[in-house]
Amino acid sequence: MPRHQRGKPSSSAPGGGSQRQLRVGELVRHAVSDILSQGGVHDDTLAGHIITVPEVRMSPDLKLATVYVMPLGGQDTDIVIAALDRNKKFLRGEVAHRVNLKFAPDLRFRVDERFDEAERIEKLLRTPAVQRDLTSDSDDNA
């Protein structure tokens, strides 16, 4: 293997990160979701919402964690992101206690768009044109 390629993360790994990034991201995801579900953050906005944490993406140096969140029902996303940003320092400290890393990663909160994308694809699959194509394909196979 050439020297310039040795030690670089594999782009073929799922999620676009190395195994280490994926593993640490999953640990941080569990820590953040536990903190939020147990009511560890004393914030009225966060206490009034059930928040899902479907994914955490880590930077290659593991110093930045992008936490993708979605409030139940997909409502008040801006308010929830603002509340998480207000409590970022507390959450970072709690993650540092729960996940054994050399450095506690900075947390960056983003809305998870995957649910909206999945709904858009479902609507496309239910359109008459797609249904017609699907029924004609199954007639050809029979």
Distances from the Cα of 11 to the Cαs of 19, 20, 60, 70, in angstroms? 11, 13, 12, 27
The dihedral over CA atoms of 72, 73, 74, 78, expressed in degrees to the nearest 10, equals: -60
pTM of this prediction? 0.72
Reply yes or no on whether the pLDDT at 16 is more than 80: no
Q: Considering the domain 3-111 in this protein, what is its CATH number?
A: 3.30.300.20
pLDDT tens readout for residues 55-103: 999 999 999 999 999 988 778 889 999 999 999 999 999 999 999 888 8
How do the domains of the chain map onto residue ranges?
3-111, 113-142
- Do residues 133 and 86 touch, judged by C-beta distance below 8 A? no
Reply yes or no on whether the pLDDT at 137 is more than 80: no
CA–CA dist 26, 129 (Å, integer): 40
Give the angle 81-56-11 at the CA atoms, nearest 5°. Answer: 135
Q: Give the pairing type, strands 64-71 and 51-58.
A: antiparallel
Q: What is the DSSP letter of 7?
A: T
CA–CA dist 116, 114 (Å, integer): 5
